[in-house]
Amino acid sequence: MNFISIGAFLSALSVVLGAFGAHGVKNSVEPVLFETYQTASHYLFIHSMAILFYGLFCKLMNKTTGIWPGKLFLLGMVLFSGSLYLIVFTGIKAFGMITPLGGLSFIIAWIGFGLHAKQL
């Protein structure tokens, strides 16, 4: 996987979604839902950067196997930010049951990144 490209594209997406939130969502939803939207966008951007940095790390270390932290960052983004966006746009709060799985994916990904970096 080319985590550098994926991270760059996801970073651009996070900027687009952030701008959309500020100009299109903010006045269309209740303030608590807009806070949820902002949380989703914030974590999307942070972990887009994480994927980008992980890709740079893999390239620097010539690492092509054992790249599960990058995949877990992606999974976390889908589960965490994706579930929050679904809550905002559908109003179905049950999607919130998925959110902690995304958070867990992020935590494991960060630990994995740290373990890989420890090998330096």
- The C-alpha atoms of residue 5 and residue 23 are separated, in whole angstroms, by 27
Q: What percent of the chain has pLDDT over 90?
A: 82
Write down the mean pLDDT value for the chain.
94
Domain residues for 24?
3-118
Given this model, what pLDDT does residue 58 score?
93
3-state helix, strand, coil in the chain (%, to 5): 85, 0, 15
* 17-58 confidence digits (pLDDT tens): 999 998 988 889 999 999 999 999 999 999 999 999 999 999
The CA R_g of the chain, rounded to the nearest whole Å, is 15
Q: Which two tokens stand for residue 117?
A: 């970096």
Residue 120: pLDDT band by 50, 70, 90 thresholds?
low
Backbone region of residue 8 per phi and psi (left: phi > 0; alpha: psi in -120 to 50; beta: other values): alpha
Count: domains in the chain: 1
